């Protein structure tokens, strides 16, 4: 099957061969914010499944691997920086494609301010400025500044972004590794103030605590793996664009799995299940609380891991949203100005600054309501994430539908695998809607329109997308007329 070539933009194009496979791999890893994500989900997962937290993370890896395989296959057929938007449009039609693009863009907008805030707060704690870290105006002001700086680096050039990410991922990995080794050694030796546990292979059994608890854990686990597709959004700027970005996405999920299993096992061994479950509501602060107990005067090492993780992700989160906006503008799915590429640096300048600007506005606006409302907006991300990942899996099977009978390998890798991954994510999406509908499962604990705030925020964001899509179609319907010419 020969895929139609993507629309060619006028004027400047993104810089080809700007980064290599390793750079893409690092960006995929950084976008997930491993230290921050694991710190945020580990306590709640342990509260649900106890010592079987590593097993839940292992099972959460499966849909991510299957969808990463779909990304790799679709990227070989259509190396477009818009990824899900472009592929879903050509496989399922412009309506589904537009919604998929909107979901990707809004996940970046919703989480951008929170990532920056974690980066700022943990940096201040790591350097001993606890007073600043406790000051909301100081933290919010520095967070906005960090977003602006990271957006400027994104515009300045993909090569500069890659070099920064390489340094941040090294610092994060080293810090996490030191913490994990110290924690597991002290846990096994009984030198832990919490008593410590000896790791056991049974911890990898996700079903040890029952089905209901596993379901809740999986919802958290999927969030921990989210973000690796940033590597594929750089396809037009990567050497060997047909293969390297997809491989980087797949390998990102594998490296994340190994990291999560190692650190989760070490933390559970050191802290035990009682302390972690009792502090599950501390979110990313779990590592901050544990760092002093495990590392003593070297607690700044762990604080540095979370800080660099969040700072790196603040930048890489901008990449998928800005490239998706660029791709949508190329196809007349958004105003043409979003397709602007700076000639000097060959990066999408207008869409990058829009993502940063809307992200700052969301962060300040929701943060002014309450910190809990900001946390609820992040929880609502699970709906958008599951939606666009599932759409990509379905699009893969539809795109390659005529190849599925050629061999068992293609049937499994291009059809069964992506559909299985999509099915798991749709199941989790339904469970998310059910759970988030209960106000008791929110940070605010209050009902909005009789429902939990995270669900209201998630649905409102999607409805806003539908309204904008209809308004733009009324103004310029060219995108909705391209379906036949681009069908695979």
Q: What CATH number corresponds to the domain at position 198?
A: 1.20.1740.10
In a domain, 482, yes or no: no
Interatomic CA distance for residues 388 and 168, integer angstroms: 28
Q: Is 203 helix (H, G, I), strand (E, B) or coil?
A: helix
**pLDDT tens digits for 146-205?**
999 989 988 887 777 667 777 777 777 777 788 788 888 887 887 777 777 788 888 888
Neighbours of 7 (CB within 10 A): 15
- Flag whether 101 is in a domain: yes
The reply to whether 13 falls in a domain is no
- The token pair at 28 is 């995929």
Query: Are 414 and 397 contacting, i.e. CB atoms less than 8 angstroms apart?
Result: yes
Give, for all 488 residues of the chain, the pLDDT tens digit: 334 444 444 456 877 877 788 888 888 888 887 877 887 778 778 877 888 888 888 888 899 999 999 999 999 999 998 899 999 999 999 999 999 999 999 988 888 888 898 889 888 988 888 888 888 889 999 999 999 998 998 888 777 766 777 777 777 777 778 878 888 888 788 777 777 778 888 888 887 666 556 676 777 788 788 888 888 988 888 888 888 888 988 998 998 899 889 888 888 888 877 777 676 666 556 776 777 777 666 767 778 888 888 888 888 888 889 999 999 999 999 999 998 888 888 888 899 999 999 999 988 988 777 666 777 777 777 788 889 999 999 999 999 998 998 899 999 999 999 999 999 999 888 887 887 787 876 666 777 888 888 888 888 999 999 999 999 999 998 898 865 444 44
- Residue 169 resides in a domain: yes
| pTM across the whole model | 0.88
Sign of CA dihedral 393, 399, 403, 404: positive
- Size (the chain), residues: 488
Q: Does 483 reside within a domain?
A: no
Number of domains composing the chain: 1
Q: 76, 96, 74: which is closest to 85 by C-alpha?
A: 96
| 463 in a structural domain | yes
Owner of token pair 């809607």: 433
Residues of the domain holding 328: 21-475
Any domain includes 1: no
Q: CA 297, 302, 304 angle in degrees (round to 5)?
A: 105
Is position 249 within any domain?
Answer: yes
């Amino acid at each position: 099957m020969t895929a139609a070539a993507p629309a060619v933009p006028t004027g400047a194009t993104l810089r080809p061969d700007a980064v290599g496979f390793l750079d893409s791999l690092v960006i995929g890893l950084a976008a997930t914010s491993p230290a921050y994500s694991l710190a945020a989900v580990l306590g709640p997962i342990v509260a649900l499944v106890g010592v079987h937290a590593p097993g839940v993370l292992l099972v959460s890896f499966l849909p991510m691997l299957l969808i990463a395989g779909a990304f790799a296959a679709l990227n070989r057929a259509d190396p477009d920086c818009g990824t899900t938007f472009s592929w879903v449009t050509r496989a399922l039609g412009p309506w589904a494609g537009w919604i998929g693009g909107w979901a990707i863009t809004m996940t970046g907008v919703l989480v951008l301010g929170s990532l920056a805030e974690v980066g700022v707060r943990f940096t201040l704690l790591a350097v001993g400025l606890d007073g600043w870290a406790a000051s909301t105006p100081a933290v919010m002001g520095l967070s906005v500044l960090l977003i602006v700086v990271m957006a400027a680096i994104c515009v300045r050039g993909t090569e500069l972004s890659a070099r920064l990410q390489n340094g941040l991922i090294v610092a994060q990995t080293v810090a996490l590794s030191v913490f994990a080794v110290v924690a597991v050694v002290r846990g096994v030796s009984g030198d832990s103030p919490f008593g410590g546990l000896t790791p056991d292979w049974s911890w990898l059994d996700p079903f040890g605590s029952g089905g209901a608890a596993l379901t809740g854990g999986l919802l958290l686990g999927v969030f921990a793996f989210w973000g690796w597709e940033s590597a594929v959004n750089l396809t037009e700027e990567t050497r060997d664009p047909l293969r390297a970005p997809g491989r980087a996405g797949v390998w990102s999920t594998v490296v994340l799995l190994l990291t999560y299993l190692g650190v989760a096992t070490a933390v559970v061994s050191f802290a035990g299940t009682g302390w972690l479950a009792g502090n599950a509501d501390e979110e990313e602060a779990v590592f901050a609380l544990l760092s002093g107990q495990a590392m003593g005067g070297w607690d700044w090492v762990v604080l540095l891991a979370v800080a660099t993780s969040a700072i790196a992700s603040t930048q890489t989160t901008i990449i998928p949203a800005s490239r998706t906006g660029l791709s949508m503008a190329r196809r007349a799915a958004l105003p043409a100005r979003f397709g602007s590429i700076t000639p000097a640096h060959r990066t999408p300048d207008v869409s990058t600054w829009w993502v940063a600007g809307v992200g700052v506005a969301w962060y300040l606006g929701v943060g002014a309501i309450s910190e809990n409302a900001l946390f609820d907006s992040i929880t609502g991300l699970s709906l958008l994430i599951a939606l666009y990942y599932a759409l990509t899996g379905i699009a893969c099977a539809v795109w390659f539908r005529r190849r599925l009978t050629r061999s068992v390998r293609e049937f499994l890798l291009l059809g069964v695998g992506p559909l299985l991954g999509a099915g798991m994510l749709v199941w989790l999406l339904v469970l998310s809607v059910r759970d988030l509908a209960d106000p008791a499962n929110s940070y605010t604990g209050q009902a909005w329109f009789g429902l939990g705030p995270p669900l209201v925020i998630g649905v409102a964001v999607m409805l806003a997308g539908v309204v904008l899509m209809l308004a733009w179609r009324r103004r310029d319907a060219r995108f909705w007329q391209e379906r036949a010419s681009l069908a695979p």
